Structure 1
Amino acid sequence: MADYKGICCNRCHRVCNTATFIYITATLSTLALLHIFNVTSRMDTIFTLSKKMNSVVSQFYLKNGFANDSKEMEVFIGNMNEKTKEASTTSLPSGRNAPRFTTYTTKTRVLPSNIKKKVTTDEKERPLNCSSCFLHNYTYVLNNENICKPTDRSSAIDIIVLITSIHANSEKRKALRETWLSPTLKNGGNFRYVFLLGMNLNKNLQVALETESATFKDIVQEDFIDSYNNLTLKSIMSFKWASTYCHNAKFAMKTDDDMFVNLPGLKQIVLKHEKRLQSSLGGQCRLNEGPIRQKGYKWYVPKALYPQPKYPGFCSGTGYVTSMSMARKIYEVSQHVPFFYLEDVYIGLCVHRLGMTVISLPGFNPVRVPINCNYKNGNVITSHHFDPKLLRDVWGLKCNNTVF
């Protein structure tokens, strides 16, 4: 045992003497310094990747319709970058080897390039009027120009139905074609329709949309980002397209892809109010609404964006109708009405700028009406919040004295 202990001690002494310890420590310190310099030399690359990551995150929010979270995203990303900057400046070397820092602020709301101001809750006061400040200079990505061409079955068009939609809602579009759009005779009758969309960053969804457009020839798309806060762009797009490619229609109706619309009943209503609709917008309209000032609400509007206590009259964006001449005038005057992200209010602002009015029409409902035979006898013109199954259930109702 004594011999064994002696051998161990002798070996420990040879390995663990002071000189060897100093040598190992110096070697490890040198390796650590080399590692630090290597990390430092790569910091520019790291921050470039950080910038790209911020961009990807913001585009993800756009693609999924979280445009209302722009302010929170800006604060979150900004704080992340500031914290990274503080940590880096205190731990990395200075001088020529020090990394260059940039704080990147990501905004998820994408607005037209020709709008000078970005619409945020802390910006300067929005003007009430302007001159050529809101030009709708977007390019058609998909455009089925022949939707309103005369056919053997119909040379006249009573109503063009402008339906806002998004890429992911292909099943909703399919259900609409199979139910209340049936009277359009696949865009060959007195009623015509078109689905209107913006851009989506998902390439697979875009390819699917292009295939759907080639199959049904009923889709129009412009190159702005599709988001809730850009619904105003889509509404102006609809009137622009209608007045350009469907000017032979007598009336234009704007609605959404989660709506039920009774087209024969709609025709009866517009013919009854034909004269008034030459100078007005009709639907479920509100004449005495004011901005919601409580933060946290979906339709919150700060005074900087709209200082007045009341909006001019406007109709629910779920469905409104007007004459083609009015649709053209609304599109033309919109370039002189500063952007406002609540699309139904914005269209009301355009009508007000024209010196025209809005009128309430019977049967237009911004909510879902209880399911019964009123859907088929003309008492219900529009009803909201329909998925494909419910839509088919209503379409299959067995009733007497129906209009379709």
Structure 2
Amino acid sequence: MSFNSREGFTLIELMVYIALLGGIVLLAGQAFSDSTKMRVRTQSMLQANQTAGNVGTILKEDIAQLGAKSSKEAGGGTMDVFNTDHIHDVYMDPDATEDADKDSSSFTIVKNDDGDGRDKITMRRLRYSDAGAYQAVEEVTWFLEDRVLKRSCKSTSALVEDAECPSENASVVTIAEHVDKFSLTPAKPTTEVASVSVLPSSSESDKNFKLVSRFGDENFEPVTIAPEEGGTSIKLSGFSMNYNFTTSEPISNPDMIKANQVFVSSLGSSLSSWGAQCIQVTLSPYIEYEISFSMPYSATDDPSRMFCPGRDHMAVGFRYAENGNKLDGLSDFQFYPPTVGDERDTGLRKMRFTTNTTYENVCLGFTFVSFSPVASSGNITISNVRLRKVPSSNYTFTDEAIATADKKNVKAIKLELSINKNGEAGAETAIISIPSNGPRD
């Protein structure tokens, strides 16, 4: 046995091993570096898109509220009235000397001269208390300053001060940084497409309708309808009362509460169930609809004027003709009867809505639940009922200047937003409707 024999690596083998190890480390390091870069890029991209989405959400809320101009104020006794005293404060310039310069819209968009998407928008709307009463007129402005998107708010004619929107020295907050594009384009007003009438007839000139009462199921009871055969104006009376005179308080047990419900039908419909008589329609997704009707002012001594907001209930909405069930995802619209006989409340009611799904075989109806001991003995008149498709989805956006007098007809604004985070871009494009813009909304 030889003691000179040794096991191990030769110098050449060791050098080869070290070279291989170095290559592996280099490859692993490069892979780690690439992975880190990809992770950072992905995070930057996600952050940019998330920021753009958040900015879009906040701006949509502001734009959707611009033009709000009526408030609910306490009236005599238990009655509330709708106040429009500050309507001129919401308009941009309604009293200009020249008619062409009169601006009854509630927004102004200033486009950057370079056309590089650095726009500025100023909006006006009312601020309300939790009860819907007037607090102030707010002027909100969004603008870019050195790629920083900012929002300012200042109140005018304020009855109640708000630290977030003070009367003195507008409050300015930073909304987002690294903004490359903030472009706002109003929809071009158009009269090429008229409103499409759905019910009671496809003809706008046909104002006749009929109301049929629902009863016999759940807690619905019949109501007196005159004239029964229908017409352009129908009076309702004999509403159910949910008041316990023994305890002198409204009935609270749901099983004992009685309601009245009437549905829009066409003239000449047969005497059968309300579901068979009512006009059945299909509501399609992503189309703006408008429910409108008038409620002429009742006599000063009519008990309906004792309607108590927050307790008594009047609403209009849709039900399935088959079973009378409500539509999931589409709530009723509550409204008040006229409480004053002057220009502050003409009785006209308008509600606009869109859906994201299709509803088939549904009927338009009015629901009344009275808890006041007197209001239920009053009369409610409903006239000029109409369901229309509003062609506001047919928006045409243009960079051409819109005449000042036409701004009141703008019903949508297109937002284009781009944010760059560490070289990664996030974008948001949205069409934002503004149903309250203009003197008639």
TM-score > 0.5 by shorter chain: no
Structure holding more strand per residue? 2
Structure 1 length-normalised TM = 0.25
